[in-house]
Amino acid sequence: MTVRTLLALLALLPVARTAEAQDPFEIQVYDAESAPAGEIGLETHVNFHRIDAAPDETHVTFEPHYGLTEWAELGAYLQSALTTTGDLAYAGAKLRVKLRWPRRISGVGFGANVEISAIPKRFEPSVWGSEVRPIVDYSEGRLYASVNPILAIDMAGDLAGHPLVEPCVKLAMRASRAVAAGVEAYGGFGPVDDLGSEHVTTTLAVIDLDGDWWTLNAGAGYSFGTTDHVLVKLIFGVRLASL
């Protein structure tokens, strides 16, 4: 996978039109790694959304994980939303399993993440949903890139059984082992059988910090095709214990 290919993928995301695509609680491009066997960890996602003609929202999600084997990881999400008017709401839960190919091939890693979710109708009209997220990433020298061609599958509602195409990509350069900066882009293009019927795109400038027992991913950007244009996100992860 070349830099030119990744730049082309990034360029594709800001060119179309959607309404309710993309997950506003988990704004993250996955890498192809998984937690070591026995590791317990926690990521906290904090996303601020500036919304047109409505109270702004801050979404807080707690994501615990457990390394089941050297190539499989279990995780969950507990979601909440707080508006600028003081309204605090439970925003649903998800369960996931992440699998990875045991070794990289010429710097390329392969993985997949599968989720099921139960989200209150206020935040997700279909309530019951799922996601299949293939993962391909590449690491060579200072360069890091990842592509997640996500399919979100509603399990109820009008689009039940019609996978929604919601890809995301990341391109970053490392300044050192512990510091990297780059760009993330997220898109939503509607169901596979009606591609282009929706179009939401989000692009963020991001920075990644990696400590001995913690990680930080922070970014800010802008969305097109939706009402929450300005977006700021922070993901703070810690490795709590190893069993």
Mean per-residue pLDDT over the chain, rounded: 91
Q: Please write down the long-range contacts of 75-79, taking CB distance under 8 Å and 24 or more positions apart.
A: 77/25, 77/26, 77/117, 79/25, 79/119, 79/123
Q: Which residues pair with residue 239 across a beta bridge? A: 41
Mean pLDDT to the nearest integer, 115-143: 97
Mean pLDDT to the nearest integer, 41-69: 96
Q: What percent of the chain has pLDDT over 90?
A: 85
Q: Which positions ≥6 away from 96 have C-beta within 8 Å? A: 74, 75, 76, 77, 113, 114, 115, 116
pLDDT digits (tens, 9 = 90+) for 162-200: 999 999 999 999 999 999 999 999 999 999 999 988 899
19 near 164, Cβ under 8 Å? Answer: no
pLDDT digits (tens, 9 = 90+) for 89-101: 999 999 999 999 9
Domains of the chain, start order: 3-235 (2.40.160.40)
CA 11 to CA 67: how far, in whole Å? 35
Mean pLDDT to the nearest integer, 41-57: 95
Q: Which residues pair with residue 78 across a beta bridge? A: 62, 93
